[in-house]
């Protein structure tokens, strides 16, 4: 059946659209009281991710409550290391923590290539439920972390401002790094294909820690693996969001994907020039702008829309929406995009 509102899919494919489609990274989350109510009944974040009915419920909340043009499945990029045998915990106020890190060839023996059917069925089940509940109202986005970003957590053992342990490995143990990245990539391709089979209409690859690598390291240890994933997924449009990788925009433009996400530090016109005319661009309002008064949000959103132009643009923030953002301010952003028409 045809999706009623397929703006985001048409924009990703580079087709003309009546208006710019809009959604937000982290739209299903703590900005919504309804999300906090669901979460309050559970032991924590991971339980919510691993309970398909509840993950589907919070996936749909932004569609119903905010009017976004797409849902994104509620999950976590770190389900991949967990599925490979590297378990993690989510510590309140601190973030992810891995009891056992992967830092040597010997540690690789504890890992296996993830099998979506047995290791990640809770995600594909959540997608099937959400897809059914959406009833073809808007598309459903699936996602995964880029291999370098996943490796950074598996080797560092937690979040970090520098990921110096992970980066050290790239210099001192490159063969090990490539082996681990290859395993993550193989697992991720199988996982994303399973998401598409379950009903995902579009996919996004999050390279959250792209910006902490030098251009040379990024070109060797991240881009080839993202390219491999993009080449393997030809069923649905794929978006690559490489946070902080301003230095790699020309190379990102050569990836076999439909859309490149821009963070808020990337100039729109410069990015279009570097990425080329064929890519759809996604982004890139500064999430902190949503703390401003409503008039400022409207004016800044319109400026952004004018800079991107009428086609090959999916409106979004330049990173995930911050958890203490007022939902009414979010609605102003979304409604401004939905009512704006390019002259």
Residue 24 has pLDDT above 90, yes or no: yes
Sheet holding 71-72, edge to edge: 71-72, 140-145, 202-207, 238-242, 259-261, 280-285, 313-317
179 lies in some domain: yes
Name 291's Cβ contacts closer than 8 Å, sequence gap at least 6: 325, 329
* Model pLDDT for residues 211-233, shown as the tens digit of each residue: 999 999 999 999 999 999 999 99
Q: How far apart are CA 303 and CA 230, in angstroms?
A: 31
The confidence band for 343, taking pLDDT boundaries of 50, 70 and 90, is confident
The confidence band for 9, taking pLDDT boundaries of 50, 70 and 90, is very high
Please identify which of the residues 10, 39, 298, 331 carries the catalytic annotation.
39
Total number of domains in the chain? 1
C-alpha dihedral sign at 271, 275, 76, 135: positive
> Cβ distance 110 to 102 under 8 Å?
yes
* Model pLDDT for residues 247-296, shown as the tens digit of each residue: 999 999 999 999 999 999 999 999 999 999 999 999 999 999 999 999 99
Please identify which of the residues 6, 35, 69, 76 carries the catalytic annotation.
76
* Model pLDDT for residues 100-128, shown as the tens digit of each residue: 999 999 999 999 999 999 999 999 999 99
The confidence band for 338, taking pLDDT boundaries of 50, 70 and 90, is very high
306 lies in some domain: yes
Residue 1 has pLDDT above 90, yes or no: no
Q: How far apart are CA 185 and CA 104, in angstroms?
A: 18
310 lies in some domain: yes
Residue 92 has pLDDT above 90, yes or no: no
1 lies in some domain: no
Q: Which of 179, 237, 247 is nearest to 207 (CA)?
A: 247
* Model pLDDT for residues 33-65, shown as the tens digit of each residue: 999 999 999 999 999 999 999 999 999 999 999
Q: Domain holding 141: CATH number?
A: 3.20.20.210
Q: Which structure tokens are listed for 134?
A: 């959406």
Q: Which DSSP letter does residue 255 get?
A: S
Containing domain of residue 215, as a range?
7-339
pLDDT for 30 equals: 92
Task: Confirm whether 76 is a catalytic residue.
Answer: yes
* Model pLDDT for residues 131-167, shown as the tens digit of each residue: 999 999 999 999 999 999 999 999 999 999 999 999 9
322 lies in some domain: yes
Q: Which structure tokens are listed for 80?
A: 């991949």
pTM: 0.98
Please identify which of the residues 30, 128, 137, 331 carries the catalytic annotation.
30
Task: Confirm whether 153 is a catalytic residue.
Answer: yes
2 lies in some domain: no
36 lies in some domain: yes
pLDDT for 291 equals: 98
Name 70's Cβ contacts closer than 8 Å, sequence gap at least 6: 8, 21, 23, 138, 139, 140, 141, 202
Task: Confirm whether 137 is a catalytic residue.
Answer: no
Task: Confirm whether 103 is a catalytic residue.
Answer: no
139 lies in some domain: yes
The confidence band for 80, taking pLDDT boundaries of 50, 70 and 90, is very high
Burial 289-299 (b: 16+ CB within 10 A, else e): bbeeeeeebbe
Please identify which of the residues 88, 153, 218, 340 carries the catalytic annotation.
153
Task: Confirm whether 286 is a catalytic residue.
Answer: no
Q: How far apart are CA 74 and CA 149, in angstroms?
A: 19
Q: How far apart are CA 88 and CA 95, in angstroms?
A: 10
Residue 93 has pLDDT above 90, yes or no: no
């Amino acid at each position: 059946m045809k999706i009623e509102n397929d703006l985001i899919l048409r924009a990703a494919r580079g087709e003309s659209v009546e208006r710019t489609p809009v959604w937000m990274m982290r739209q299903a989350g703590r900005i919504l009281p309804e999300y906090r109510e669901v979460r309050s009944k559970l032991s924590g974040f991971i339980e919510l991710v691993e309970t398909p009915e509840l993950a589907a419920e919070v996936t749909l909340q932004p569609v119903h409550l905010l009017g976004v043009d797409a849902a994104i499945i509620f999950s976590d990029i770190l389900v991949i290391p967990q599925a490979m045998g590297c378990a993690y915990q989510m510590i309140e106020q601190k973030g992810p923590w891995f009891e056992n890190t992967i830092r040597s060839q010997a540690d690789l023996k504890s890992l296996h290539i993830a099998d979506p059917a047995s290791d990640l069925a809770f995600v594909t089940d959540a997608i099937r439920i959400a897809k059914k509940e959406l009833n073809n109202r808007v598309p459903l986005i699936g996602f995964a972390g880029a291999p370098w970003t996943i490796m950074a957590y598996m080797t560092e053992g937690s979040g970090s401002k520098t990921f110096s342990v992970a980066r050290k490995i790239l210099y001192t143990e490159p063969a090990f790094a490539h082996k681990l990245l290859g395993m993550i990539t193989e697992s991720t391709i199988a996982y994303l294909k399973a998401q598409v089979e379950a009903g995902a209409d579009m996919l996004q690859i999050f390279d959250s820690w792209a910006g902490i690598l030098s251009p040379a390291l990024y070109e060797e240890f991240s881009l080839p693996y993202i390219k491999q994933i993009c080449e393997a997924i030809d069923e649905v449009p794929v978006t690559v969001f490489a946070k902080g990788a301003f230095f790699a925009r020309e190379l990102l433009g050569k990836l076999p994907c439909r859309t490149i996400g821009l963070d808020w530090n990337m100039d729109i016109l410069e990015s279009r020039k570097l990425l080329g005319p064929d890519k759809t661009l996604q982004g890139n309002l500064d999430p902190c702008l949503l703390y401003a008064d409503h008039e400022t949000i409207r004016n800044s959103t319109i400026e952004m829309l004018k800079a991107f132009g009428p086609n090959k643009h999916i409106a979004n923030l330049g990173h995930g929406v911050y958890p203490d953002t007022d939902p009414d301010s979010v609605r102003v952003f979304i409604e401004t995009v939905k009512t704006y028409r390019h002259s």
